[in-house]
Amino acid sequence: DAGVIQSPRHEVTEMGQEVTLRCKPISGHDYLFWYRQTMMRGLELLIYFNNNVPIDDSGMPEDRFSAKMPNASFSTLKIQPSEPRDSAVYFCASRRGTAVTANTGELFFGEGSRLTVL
Amino acid sequence: AQTVTQSQPEMSVQEAETVTLSCTYDTSESNYYLFWYKQPPSRQMILVIRQEAYKQQNATENRFSVNFQKAAKSFSLKISDSQLGDTAMYFCAFRSQGAQKLVFGQGTRLTINP
């Protein structure tokens, strides 16, 4: 089975530009998570979805960030307008619901999108 | 809120040696799950090992094993016969049984020297 697929792998943009990161979760996974990784703050959860519905977006830094999941196989994280402090690696991860027997809730990660805002 | 602490920012050992990475966590719950993830230079996060808090037996996966001390809230990772390919960032993570998200520690950068 294919893993979590993210695009682009690298993005370099200028301050003020719109950035869209994309994610295709593993088929059959009920949950999708967006994490941000920086040297200063480590791995931070931005938002997660259950069955395409946003459940907790308390980690989204501010209104410049938005995330959508229009269907079970696609999600986007958008930053508009982007700022240099948004430079980070953004990870998408997915997993099955924990109602599944013996499921400890292991997350499967994509390879991440490295964003650089100049 | 739960927190995860990894007190060793960096570690370095020689190939074939055994190394132990430390992790402590803070929670008031009794049922939860603990994980160690590896992040090699390729950047992708890979699950190394997992432990259910209700299990007393320490988890083992080939050369990787954990020392789970529930009362002390400690969850260390031991890598035996270390290999060059073990060079990576290692993250300890916690998930309470009723929650959906993983909380990660700050990571330990492990270097295996030839």
> Taking a C-beta distance cutoff of 8 angstroms, is the pair A29, A110 a contact?
no
CB pairs under 8 A between A and B: 48
Cβ of B47 and A33 within 8 Å? no
How many whole angstroms separate alpha carbon A91 and alpha carbon A111? 7
Does residue A104 surpass a pLDDT of 70? no
Report the gap between the CA of A88 and the closest CA in chain B (Å): 12
**Residues A2-40 pLDDT 10s:** 899 999 999 999 999 999 999 999 999 999 999 999 988
**Residues B67-110 pLDDT 10s:** 999 999 999 999 999 999 999 999 999 998 878 888 999 999 99
How many whole angstroms separate alpha carbon A50 and alpha carbon A46? 14
CB-closest option in B44, B50, B101 to A33:
B101
Structure token pair of residue A16:
């003020």
How many whole angstroms separate alpha carbon A49 and alpha carbon A69? 8
**Residues B37-63 pLDDT 10s:** 999 988 889 999 999 998 889 999 999
In the 3-class helix/strand/coil scheme, how is A75-113 assigned residue by residue?
EEEEECCCCHHHCEEEEEEEECCCCCCCCCCCCEECCCE
Beta-sheet pairing, B60-61 with B64-69? antiparallel
